[in-house]
Amino acid sequence: MNKVSKWQETEEPKLIQKDFLTLADYSKDDIMSLLYDALELKKQQKMGISHPYLSGKVLGLIFEKSSTRTRVSFEVGMLQLGGHAIFLSSRDIQLGRGETVSDTAKVLSRYVDGIMVRTFEHETVEEFAKYASIPVINGLTDLHHPTQVMADLLTILEHKGKLSGLKLCYIGDGNNNMAHSLLEGAAKVGMHINIASSEGYKPNEIIIQNAKKVGSKTGSKIMITNNPTTAIQDADVVVTDVWTSMGQEKEVQKRLQEFKDYQVNQALCENAKPDFIFLHCLPAHRGEEVTAEIIDGPHSVVFDEAENRLHAQKAILKALLGKKS
């Protein structure tokens, strides 16, 4: 059953920005308009109604980090929108042999209609956007993961019927891209967000302060703590991520020790609301950041969340690459 309430929206999402790099760049209305367009696109897809809004459009996909969900969802999304996607591994293009980001961005701007970049340093995707004359989408950097959090917000909206006023609790490595984009997204839409993390792994301070500034206008309350029990109290949504992200493999043993008290398990989740939902961007390490009884249990919506990468990104692609009025 669709729990989503009516949203007074424009006919077509109209984003102010050329690119989709961080959620901090967008207003609440921008984000909500995209989410409701994603719901409509999802409905059409489930009913078998074609929606070739991007007929003839081509998206270049640059991957410096490997992926399952990002690659497949963007490729399938472009196909369902009537367009095409080209996979560009950094090992296969001149970028991997020393060509500058600026030159690559300028060249690709002559060939394709948009670029999705999944990379390490956030400065790389910012440089792509600076020199590209076409839209650039951040598919993940070490600092931000905005497309994933759009899918998270879409999933919460579907299951809870609203976003504003809900309490989201993130437990684990606070200094990672998911925590940062969740901070930005929650603050924008008026959700309360608590982040529980070990000392030394708190979120980026600039992102925290910017989120609090936004939250003061939207009613979003933000808590950063090292106590997971306090953070999860009466939470509507519980989120975690792997303790060791790509590029941090040498820190595995250190991180296992640092975060051993931050596992999302049944005992901890007893403090959340009885009808809480559990999110994880995947891939997950069962027995580390989350137990199997939670991620595979009745509160888990991780596969709805994974599917919603497709629908949320289709809305973004449609807004950025579609016909402009």
Question: pLDDT, tens digit, for every residue of 37-73?
Answer: 999 999 999 999 999 999 999 999 999 998 999 999 9
Catalytic residue among 263, 281, 299, 311: 281
Domain of 317, in residue numbers:
19-144+309-321
Structure tokens given for 258: 């640092």
Catalytic residue among 144, 280, 299, 309: 309
Q: How many CA atoms lie within 13 A of 305 on its CB side?
A: 23
* Cβ neighbours, 10 Å, residue 171: 28
| 286 catalytically annotated | no
Active site residue 209: no
First vs last Cα of the chain: how many Å apart?
34
DSSP 204: P
Tokens 């998270």 -> residue = 152
In the residue annotation, 309 being an active-site residue is answered as yes
Q: Determine if residue 146 is labeled as part of a ligand binding site.
A: yes
Query: What pLDDT, on a 0 to 100 scale, did the predictor assign at position 1?
Result: 39
167 with 278, same domain: the answer is: yes
Residues 316 and 286 grouped into a single domain: no
154 and 231 belong to one structural domain: yes
Q: Are strands 114-118 and 136-140 parallel, antiparallel or unpaired?
A: parallel
pLDDT tens-place string over residues 120-153: 999 999 999 999 999 999 999 999 999 999 999 9
- Asked if the structure places residue 7 within a domain, the reply is no
What pTM was computed for the model? 0.94
Q: Nearest 5°: CA angle at 241, between 284 and 310?
A: 75
d(CA 146, CA 310): 13
Q: How many domains does the chain have?
A: 2
Query: Closest by alpha carbon to 28, among 187, 246, 138, 227?
Result: 187
Q: pLDDT value at position 6? A: 45
- Separation of alpha carbons 134 and 127, rounded Å: 13
Tell whether 245 is in a known binding site. Answer: yes
Q: Is 275 left (phi over 0), alpha (psi -120 to 50) or beta?
A: alpha
**241: annotated active-site residue:** yes
Mean residue pLDDT across the chain: 93
Q: Say yes or no: 159 and 280 in one domain.
A: yes
* Cβ contact 37:300 at 8 Å: no
170 and 87 assigned to the same domain: no
Same domain, 198 and 279: yes
Are residues 156 and 288 part of one domain?
Answer: yes
Q: Indicate which CATH number applies to the domain containing 296.
A: 3.40.50.1370
- d(C-alpha 315, C-alpha 33), whole Å: 9
